[in-house]
Structure formats: structure tokens, C-alpha cells
Structure 1
Amino acid sequence: MNAHLKPYFYCAGFRETGTASDHPHLINHLKQLSCLWLFASLFIVFTTLPTEAKSAAEVFADVSGSVVVIHNYDKNEKLQNIGSGVMLASGKVATNYHVIEQTGKITVIYKGREYPATPLYFDRFRDVCSLNVPGLPESRITIGSTHELKTGDKVYALGAPQGIELTFSDGIISGLRQVDKGFYIQTTAPISAGSSGGGLFDENGRLIGLPTYFFKQGQQLNFALPVEWILDLPNRVAVQDTILSADLGNVYQVNALEERQDWGGMISFCQNWIKQKPESGEACGYLGFAYLQRGDLSLSIDSYNNAIRLRPDYAQYWVDLGAAYGREGQKQKKIEAYRQAVSLNTDYAVGWLNLAMAYVQNGEVERAIDAYEQAVRITPHDASSWYHLGLVLSDGGQFDKAVKAYQQAVRITPGHALYFLSLARAYGYAAQPSESYEAYKSALRINPDYSDAWVFLGVAYDKDHRIAEALNAYLQALRINPDHNTALFNLGRFYLETGSVEKGMAVYVRLKQLNPEMAQLFFNTFNKLMFSKNAL
């Protein structure tokens, strides 16, 4: 089966890089919590971002007039299938191909009136088609983009399961799997039989996909194909369907095994699939994924290489191969695989993100910056990508650019305390204390028990010789985390500088238990203070 149809939820590279050891710039950030003198400087750039999400009632009011019922009659004009469709601004209707498959006659029902319809463009391969419906009013529907989605986003499904009434359900995105042009969506929004071909809308009422109802072995799997496939239909006229109908069932079954994390069962299933169809790159790709999850890295690499041999143009396989190489410690091969992925699809955000992380791990900061910039170009509403771009820009000393990245992160996700902490520290590098203090306070408003924010706020006060405020910040940090190394170090230094040597040395004893390296640094600081006083 061609990989274009693949609802691939897993992005192996993200899971591969999901620990602190995979992010040297994050490690540096943690190390910097043990130092007194590190700040960052940022300045603000404002851009237009999505408006506040609409309520469910507002979304329904916007989109309910855009969904139609589709009747599929056989050659004897006997009704054989009922599905849903979405009216486009062009006056055409989009739906799943299986809704109109093997039809003799098609009609569209809209507001009680029946309109004759004929297929305009169709792609059995992706299970999507458009219909020409003369006389049907144009829709005011707004087209969204699956590239702007993230797991956890609110979505709404609208269809006509009984061929009469509209069924409106809500849920969240539970998975996004990269496919050609966009992302295949898995959602918790219930989709009933007959709702196939209806609309899946984001929280602003924009069309993002066509729900496809599927029920297999007692488990309902709610999928929606990407809206980009509707837009791409005119370019797919020449696409020929070369897959067996059984392959679609294989995809759903292997996804069900993945959901249960039954890697052994998934391996056996894929091996049988390959025996039945040795030319299936899809089967090899899933087999590589299952081996990767089980930790059989050499077998995973072999399977992905087989998938690439069969489908060398499919970027996802190259990314997954890179992940397998990364886990095996083959850094250069990992980078080359990610490079190949983005050369095949320059708008593949997952590929650019994994490549950026690989460059960071390899110490290639400038190349990492370039790759992160490509990622945020493609997914400008992904706060995490902006944040990581800010980290690597800071690592490269490009603080003016870093501020723009951090500011984007906090504007997109204003409830994330770490983003504000990074912004605050960056203002420190720019010698803008008032902006720095405000950002620290924003972080602490979000999370009053954020000990790191209290510590760095204390450092900022310390730098400005606001000793009482600095001392209070350190004490707040220690109230939350009595073993916070940096807070202890700075509190102990305060004791030494104010002549409370016994209290200072008590801190030294505690630090020696918690962090011998920092205890030695504290001891050196003590000696310097004593030497300075004796010299006077």
C-alpha cells in the first residue's frame, strides 16, 4: 500500500529526542541553574496570532450550513450508500471516495432539496473526492491547515449519520501522523457510520479534514484525512489505484496493535503482511517502527532500509531511520537520514526538528539554528519549536534573534512558566532589568512554587544590589525546595558577606552532601572573601 494513505501517528525522532541527554542546550540550561552570573537578553517582536477560540455553539453556527447528505444509488437506482459531504467555497462538495464508490447515480441533499451530482476529481488512493453539484449554493467555509495542529487541540466533527439530521460532536486531537502534504488526524470526537465525508473543524471553525468512520474488532478508530488532500485533488488526476483493498484493513489493524503497544503482535502481523505483499513499503515501515519500539535497533534499521528501497521518496521513513541510527549512536548517519528527509520534503516540520536536534547534539549550532528556523517557518504556531529555537540562538550568542523566538513562545502559550523564565533571563543579558523582573513575575504568577524562577529572580536582584529582595527570593526557593543547590549557594554567600560565618559554613556542609562540586566552589568563594578582608 502506498504510504500516502498511511495514518502514521508516531514521529520516531521526537521520541528519540525526548530525554534531557538528547538536548545539550537543555543540559546547559540545567547546569546554568548552578551558576550565579548567567542571564539572557531579548527584545520583543509582535505578530498576528490566532484569535481566541470560539465556543462550541459559535463553531456549530458557523459550519452547520456547510455539511450535506450524499446518496449513492446503484445502476438500478437502488440506494446503496449514504454518507456526508462538505460544501466548499467553490460550490463543489468534498467527501470520502468510498462514499461514492461503484455508483450509478449520486445526489446531494441540502436543506431538504435534492441536487444531482457527478464526480469531479477523485483519488481512491487517498480515499478523497470532489463532486460537481450544479445549482448548489456556495459555502462560506474557511479552510484551515493540519500543519498548525498539535496533539490536544480541540476539534469538532459534523456529519449526517442518518441522512437527515446533523450530528455535532467534540473531542481533541489524540494523534497526528505525517503524510504527504499534511497530517492524518486521529481524534476522540465520535464519528458515526454515515458521517464519513463530513467535516472536522478546529476550534476556530476552520475545515481541517474529512472524518472517516472505521470500526474494527470492537474498537472504534476515529480518523480524519487532511484538508490538504482536498486542495491537492486537481493535481492527482493521474494517480492510479494500485493497492489491494485488503491493504487498508492491514493499516487499521496494525494501528490498533500500535495503540495497544503490542510490539510482538505488530512484528508478527507485519512479517505476514510482507509475505503476502513483498513490495509493500508500508509493511516494512511499520515493521521497522515495531522493532524500534522493542529496542531491536539493527532489525529496525534493516526494515527501514527495505522500506526506503521500495519507497525512496517517502520522507517519514528517512526520519524514522534517522531515529534508529541515533539510538544506535551513529550520529553522522542519523544526520544524513534527516537531511535526506527534508531534501525530499522541504515543508516537513518533523524532519527539520529532528535535524535541528541532531545538529545540537553534534555541536553544530549554526546549522541547528537554520533547521529550527525552517521548522518555525512551516509551523509558526508551535510554541515549543520557537522555544527551542530561542535556546539554540542563545547558545550561539545571537541574543537579539533569541528574544524574538522566546517572545513568540510566550505569546503562543502564555501559560507556560518555563518560557517566561527563559525570556526573563534573556532580558538580563540585554541589561533590561525592569523587563526581566516583569517576565520573572509572569512565570511566578503562573507557578508560584517555581523554585528556579525564584532563584533566578534572586540573582537578578543580587546583580542590581537589591539585597533584601534577593534574600527573600532565595528563601522562597528554599521554602519550595530545601535542597536547591543554587539557592543554598547564594544564601550562604550572603551569610559570608554579612559576617555570619557560622551560618555560611553550615550551608557549606549541606552543599557538600548535595553537590561536592558546588561545595568546592563555595569554599573557594569563602577563601577569597577571607583573603580580601585580611588584605584590607
Structure 2
Amino acid sequence: MSLLPDRRLPGAAALLLAALMPIPAPLRAQQDEARAVFERVSGSVVTVIGHAGDGRRGSQGSGVLLDATRIVTNCHVIRDAARIEVVSGPATHPARWTLQDPSRDLCLLETQQPAGRPAGLRDLSAVVPGERVHAVGNPLGFGLSVSSGLVTAFATLQGERVLLASAVLSPGSSGGGLFDAQGRLVGITTGALGPGQDLNIALPAGWARELSARGRPPVLVEPPPSPEPRWLERSQALEAAGAWQELEGLARDWVAAQPGAARARMALAAAQLQQGRTEAAEQAAREALRLDDRMAHAWHYLGVVLHQAGRTAQAEQAMDRALELLPASPGVHLARAGWRIGQRRFEEALAEAERALAIEPGDHRNWAILGDARSRLGLADEAIRAYRAAVRLNERDAASREALARLLAGGGKADAAHRALAERSGAQTDARTMVALGVADFNRQRYAVAEDAFRKAVTSSPGLAEGWEKLGMALARMKRDDEASSALDRALGLDPRLIEARIERAALRSRRGDRSGALADARLATESTGNDPRAWRSLATNAVAAGDATTALSAYHRLDTLGGSLTADLAAWGDLLGRTGRREEAQRVFDRAESDDPRNDGLLVNIAAFHGRSGALVRAQQYLERALAVAPRNVDALSSQGYLRILQGAAQEAVTILERAVAIDPERANAWINLGHAHLRNRNAGRAIAALEKGLTLAPESLDAHLYAAQAYLAAREPGRARRHSATVLARQPDLAPALSISILSHLMEGDAGGARPLYQRLRRLDPQAARQLRSQALAGGLTAASSLPE
């Protein structure tokens, strides 16, 4: 089990790494104080949940009881909720929003039944800087927790005095309590200053007393206007489908709706070039550059257009400009590699292909062009390896498959050539025999050949449930998830008892973000066969992913009772026990696993995290060093090292470590996101974008990755993409000032003052000074549309 932080939970990335940082000697006493305060006040803090109008869970934050039935929280937690609940211990109570004080972001909720015990309040006048305080709330939705820090200063926001404290806050902490060492409420935790967690705002506790006098009933919020068409996503989908006429129509509508959108002109250029209208495509690309001459992709595309028109010198100049603006542009190197092959400059083609591959190793086209260059240089064996990589990444790459077959045949390997083409001939084979042949190939990880066998089986016998089951498994291994899902659905429709199909569909649903569906399939797997360890392992794994610790712990216990626990299972079980506070049980599980397999690097990393969370840093470091000694290529450990270097300000060293991590395992989202973060710290937006986009394909719900990507795209002068990522963040954290600022600037870069204005007004309400500063900086940067924004 990976011990890296789950990037789908913003801020969680630092959990293990923070534990490995040096701490002062008095930490034990501070931890004892925090524990005592938490035990004293946890009955006064509740979780506040806002449900959307369609019944879906929307916002989640915290609240503090003023008396048994009245709760104070931040207004931004419940502002858009159609229905509100508060959770206190095991009980959930419906709540009614009765009063609001919008200028202070404080709202009052009431429940019919007592929801806990009230907190004692302490006046702001008695609080002094340097005093230890403890924030209690429900960050990230995992349950109440405590973080400690100091009152660092007082600040004036909108004319009123508030506290600044260093206690760490995360999404979900809003509305929680900031308590002193005696458990008295000194403030309501509200938010962070900037994107970090180092300096956070708390509203004075005394303001809660004034709600009855200052508050007024809430008002209904008008529904937002219909969103702008998702131009970029629709254009990308049409381009991927090769629907060039439809893309041209969409691009023209986009240009009409947003005349200042350079990306719209790029879509138009792509459609026109693919339809053979080179002159029109050039005109559209140049118009995109007129609107934004720092758009690297527009220069790249202009180079392609010019080269196709035979103006090679100008094409090379355009490509040089694209690389100047975005050095990490694999498409430029890929295009040039093809040009050099056409010019018979094969050594140069090889160098360009290698550059493209270093930037984007997951694109089969880069491996294919590398194979072409190597083949033309007479490097047959190396070309074969490149073509094999291309085919593994894209089983439908017929050109690479045929080139591979030609090379194998040319080297006297006729059988291997036939296998590369995956062609079968002769009499019809029995369906079950084909399934058996496919299973043999599947077990050898020859998934494309296995797919061919399974397809022949279900073609000849459509009612054979096992054939559909095995076909779905093969497709899933090739990441063809839509096809795999269809095949597995067909298998389970024919026979709901198929254990492997049920487990495979659970894994597929989990990979696609359907946590509840994955958990449901895993439960059905255990019901179908109560004693199969694979089913209980699936239930445990999917329960962890769904945040259901109770079910996961029960499943791990059942798996162990059946005698099916592997070292990896014990490592995951111990980790979960530790994270849920059952440390003695966790230690027993870890001791047992370590006794059985003391050189299991995954286990050692988990034990390191276990000790790190408890402050036993020496032991944690020892286990981490043991893990790396056993497995120097352990990506979890390397990614953790890289992130630690970022925190220490050694971003370039972090890049070196993290590049090694992603080269070892390009499917680890955390490593890619950390690498993108490190490049961003080094002001290398192009490489940051490449790494972050890769990370987001693996962990699309990672909010910190979306925020980093938004920053990187803005730096690369790609406002549309920057806005897309910042919008994802704002959908979950609508008042996050950095995301608002990026969205505003992205509109201004496109000359779209109308799009920027409502976001700017929101930022002005949240932070007038930040809004004024953003406007000044935009004007200083030549974004003239900012002049229409109010000062």
C-alpha cells in the first residue's frame, strides 16, 4: 500500500513528510496539552454539512455550540446549502439557519435536540501574541482533530480586529473553534492567508455573543446564470474524434462569443489545416498570435502549417519561438523529429525524438518516432524496443505494430513477427479453448493477444459469461476502461456470481472515481463467496478509498481470520489502525508483519509513517532508510524525499529526485504532482505543466494539483487552461483568493473584462487590498482590460 499522501485530498501530501521534519524538544508537553484540550472541548465542536438542492452533499465545515441547541459557524460553509445537518459524535441532527452577520462571516444554526455541550468564551482583550492555542474542527471530513500553534498577531479586516494564529487549518476547518490551554473559546477558525497553512484567521469569540443583536434572517440566493459553453473541452473532444467540420463550426461560434480568445483561433486553425486549407489555417494561427504572441502552442501550430506549405525556414523560426516560450514542449520535438527524418538527417531526428520522450514518456507517438529514427540508423534491436513500447502504450497503433513486425521478420524472427501482429488463422476454435489460451497469454501479461482470444470466444459464444469476464480484465489492464466496463457488465449480467468480474469492476470503478460503486461491488463479491480472501482484500482496499474505516478494518480482520493476509495486507491494516488512533493494535500488526518479512520495503515505509505521526522521528527515519536500502527505486520514498526538499527550499534537488521517481513509475500521481510543484518553484512553467497534467490524469480530484497547474498555465500565457484549473478549485473552495486571482487574470489576458468583473467583485468583498493590488499589477503587466474594473 502506498504511504504517499492521497492527492485527491488537498493538503494531505505533507502528512508523512511533516512528521519527518525536526521538532523542538518540548513537543511532548505541547502534545499532552493539545490532547487535554481536545478531550475537554470536543463535545462543543460539531461537523456542519450543507446539502445541495438535488440532495447531493455539497459543503462541509465545522461549528461551535453556544448553548445546547445553538451553533455558530462561518456563513461561507452553509451559504449555498438547501438543507443543513450537524454531526456530533455518532448523532446527526437537522439544523435550521436562523441568523447571519455577513460582514463578519458568522451565522447561527439551531437544532431541535441538544447537539452537545456549550463552549466557554474568552474575550479578545485577554488574548496576547505568543499564547498557545489549539484549533479543533473536522478538516477534510475524517472526523474531529486538533492542531496547535501560537497567536502570532492581530490584524484589522474590514475595520475590525481579528486574530492570526499558526495552528494548521485545512478545508473543513472553517467554523471550528480556536481554544486556549484551559479549553476556552478564543476564536472561530475561518481561513488561511494565502494558499499555505502557516498563518490563519480566527474571528474573536466575543462576536458570537453579538450575533443575536447584529444578526438578521438569511435571504434566499438567486440561482447563478447559466454557464458559458465549455468551448475548450468540446473543441478538444472534436479534435480527438477527427470531426474537423464540426470543430470548424464550433470554433467559429467560439470566436463570435469570445473575439479575444486566442485558443478559439487555434481550434479554427486546426480544423482548417486538417481539411487541407493551409492558407486559412495560417491566417487563423497568426490571428491567435496577434491576440497573444506568447502562446507557445500557437507558434508550434504555425510552424506545422508553414512546414506543410513548404516554407521550412519560417517553420523552424516558429518552432524556435515555441520552445523559447515553453521549453517542455514534446510536440515541437516530435514534429522536428519527423521533419529531420524526411530530410534524412537521422542523427538529428534521433536527438529530437529523445527530447520528446524525456518530456512525455507516456505518449506512444514519441516511442514510434524514436523507433523510426533508430531503425533508419541501423539500430534494429533498439528500434524494436521502442516500437514495443509504442504498442504497449497504444495497442491500436497499427503503424508501430507493422514496423515492429517488419523489423522482427528482417531479423529472422518470423514467429515473433506473427505474434506482434496478433493474427490468427485456421479453423474455428472452441470458445472455452480460446478462453484457456487467452488466460495463458493474460498470465504472461500479453494482454493484446489475450484480448484477441477472448474476443473470438465471445464472438462464437455470446452467452459465455467467463469469456466476457476475462475480456473485461484484459481491457482493464490496457486502460481501455469504457470497453472494459461494458464487457464486465455483460459478464455479470450473465452470471452475477463471477468473483473475478466483480472484483475487477470494483477496481475499475475505483480508478474512475466511483468510490460508492466500487465499494458496492466489493461487498457483493464477499457475499458471493464468503471465504475467498480476494473478495475481502477488495472490500478492505475499496473501503479505505471510500473513507469507510470501519468497514475496512472489519474486512482486514476477516481476511486475516481466513489466513489470507499477505505482508502488503498487514502493512495496510497496520497503517489504517494507526491513522484511526488504535496505535497498540497497529503496533502488534506491524510487529507481526516485520517478523515475517523484515525486508518488505512497502511495510517499512508504512512503519516509518506510523512512527513519524507519533513524533518518534528517529525511528521513522531508521525505517525509511531501511526501506531505501532494500529498494532504492521505491517511488513512495523517493517522492517523499523530493517533497521534503521542496519544503526545505531546495527545489532543484527536488526536481532531480522526483524525475527519477516518475521515470521508475510513471503511474504515481503524487510523484508527478510533486515534480510539477518543484518545477513551479524553479519558475519553469513549461515543465511544471507537463508534470502536473500527467498527475491530474492519474488523480483528477487533486485540488492542490489543479491550483499548481492554474499557476503554471498562467505563467505560460495560456489563460483558458489556467481558468479551467482554477474553476475546479473554486468549485470546492469558492472563496480561495489565489484561485479567484488566477481566474480574474485569465479573463483579463483574453481581454474579457466582463468575465473578470464578477470574480473581481467577489475578491473585493473577501479582500479589498488583494483586489486593488491585483488590478494594479494587471495594468502594470499590460492587461488593459483591467482598467474597466473598479478601483
TM superposition score normalised by structure 2:
0.32
Q: Which has the higher contact order (CA 8 A, sep 6+)?
A: 1
Whichever structure has more helix as a proportion of its residues is: 2
Whichever structure has more strand as a proportion of its residues is: 1
TM superposition score normalised by structure 1:
0.45
